[in-house]
Amino acid sequence: MKKNSLSNVKYHDFVFAQKEPFLLENQETLSKVNIRYECYGKLNAEKSNAILIIHALTGNHHAAGYYKDEKVPGWWDNFIGPGKALDTNKFFVLSSNNLGGCSGSTGPNSINPLDKNGEPYGLNFPSITLGDMVKMQFVLMQHLSIPCFHTIIGSSMGGMMALHWSVHYAKYVKNVIAIAATDAQNSQSIAFSEVARQAITRDPHFKEGKYYQKNKNKENGPKNGLAIARMLAHITYLSDLSMRRKFGRKLNKKNQKGFVLDVEFEIESYLRYQGAKFTDRFDANSYLYITKAMNYFNLKDGFKNLEETFKMSSSRYLIISFNSDWLYPTYMSKQLVEAMLNAGREASFAEIKSDAGHDAFLLEKKELTILIQSFLHGVTEKWK
């Protein structure tokens, strides 16, 4: 176990919409919705130190620390814990699994409470949006009697949701940190999602999403399709430079051409490994629903333009990008900040130099830590 990491972390479940159903953006409803979450640190007496951290596409509620007997800590453990960027000695940090996910919160692999045979939703799960995911977090916030978040922080899809919070729940969020995020995906991102979804739905084991029952032996389900989807997505999270440095053109056996179609280049074996590993932890239907929700997301929806959008907000912002991120490139972050500033918001922008591409939000510990710490210090201390 790493020093300064939290130990004996536990997750919690909260079931809501037991009487009144949970209304979604597409006007469909969900009943008996579960939200799985974790919290680190203590909520102070004034309830003014709550930070919400929002995970990205395939993340989950386990953001920090170790469960009992766990070997690998939560996905953002580098940044959450005593003395870290999100200092659990000062802040109460909350993290939940998004709606539509597959790590405990209600999603397509959950049992449909309205199904007579007690089957999972599969493709009967309603189409969801990032707004719906935020709405579910809002329910959790009320359940925990948190009047207002000190800060909401997220990267990639989590950053997009943090922005949504600040526009649609303005009263409930004082500060926002969005890392490698955007107000709307570009055509290129939607294109990648589409290829990923096609890989899943064209897998013969997909079976219109009804692959769960037979999945008990873990051999069934669109595993190949999901693995290919992940391989493709993984490329978009890296960069030319990081791949050149890590793999180059290296061949893994004797460095000689084998004149076969099998895995030879190191990058091939790496991607296959990443793809296979992913199918053990992620549900293909969740992948379809969440990528689509990301495609739909457009912060400007209902507003004349981005500047008008941010006039709805009262948050202070810190927007961070990575220079090698070609999925949500720096220009997207700059557009956000420029609209915020012209809308009269307090907004800051910083670009971190990193070779790691979009995935840098998991890796660039030093620069991200100083940015987050400085920002939180600046907005928390009295500078009068």
Backbone angles phi, psi at 161, to 5 degrees: -70, -35
Identify which of residues 249 and 384 has a Cβ nearer to other proteins in the complex: 384
Identify which of residues 301 and 367 has a Cβ nearer to other proteins in the complex: 367
Identify which of residues 201 and 373 has a Cβ nearer to other proteins in the complex: 373
CB atoms within 10 A of CB 187: 7
Q: Is 384 in the site for other proteins (CB under 8 A)?
A: yes
Chain center to CA of 288: 15
As a whole number of angstroms, the distance between CA 135 and CA 146 comes to 15
Position among 111, 243, 363, 379 found at the interface with other proteins (CB under 8 A): 379
As a whole number of angstroms, the distance between CA 340 and CA 334 comes to 10
Least gap, CB of 87 to other proteins (angstroms): 14
Least gap, CB of 168 to other proteins (angstroms): 22
Residue 325 annotated as catalytic: yes
Residue 358 annotated as catalytic: yes
> What are the Cα distances from residue 228, in Å, to 93, 103, 231, 273?
34, 21, 5, 11
Identify which of residues 360 and 371 has a Cβ nearer to other proteins in the complex: 371
Instruction: Find, among 176, 201, 195, 182, the residue nearest to 56 by Cα.
Output: 182
Least gap, CB of 233 to other proteins (angstroms): 28
Residue 168 annotated as catalytic: no
Burial class (CB in 10 A: 0-12, 13-18, 19+), 366: exposed
Identify which of residues 113 and 378 has a Cβ nearer to other proteins in the complex: 378
Identify which of residues 252 and 348 has a Cβ nearer to other proteins in the complex: 348
Q: Is 383 in the site for other proteins (CB under 8 A)?
A: yes
Span 161-200, contacts to other proteins by CB under 8 A: none
DSSP 226-288: HHHHHHHHHHHHS-HHHHHHHTTT-BSSTT----SSSS-BHHHHHHHHHHHHHHHH--HHHHH
Of residues 325, 333, 355, 359, which has the active-site annotation?
A: 325
Of residues 55, 62, 164, 358, which has the active-site annotation?
A: 358
Least gap, CB of 117 to other proteins (angstroms): 55
Least gap, CB of 290 to other proteins (angstroms): 31
Which H or E run includes 132? helix 130-143
Tokens 């379809």 sit on residue: 288
Give the binding range for other proteins (CB under 8 A) out of 28-36, 137-145, 166-174, 376-384.
Answer: 376-384
Least gap, CB of 221 to other proteins (angstroms): 45
Number of residues that bind other proteins (CB under 8 A): 27
CA 192, 353, 340: angle at the middle one, nearest 5? 75
Least gap, CB of 69 to other proteins (angstroms): 38
Instruction: Find, among 167, 108, 175, 96, the residue nearest to 136 by Cα.
Output: 96
Identify which of residues 286 and 315 has a Cβ nearer to other proteins in the complex: 315
Of residues 103, 110, 156, 239, which has the active-site annotation?
A: 156
Q: Is 48 in the site for other proteins (CB under 8 A)?
A: no
Span 315-374, contacts to other proteins by CB under 8 A: 316, 318, 334, 337-338, 341-342, 346-353, 367, 370-371, 373-374
As a whole number of angstroms, the distance between CA 79 and CA 51 comes to 13
Within the chain, what is the greatest distance between any pair of CA atoms? Answer: 70
For other proteins, the binding residues (CB under 8 A) are 316, 318, 334, 337-338, 341-342, 346-353, 367, 370-371, 373-375, 377-379, 381, 383-384
Q: Which residues are catalytic?
A: 156, 325, 358
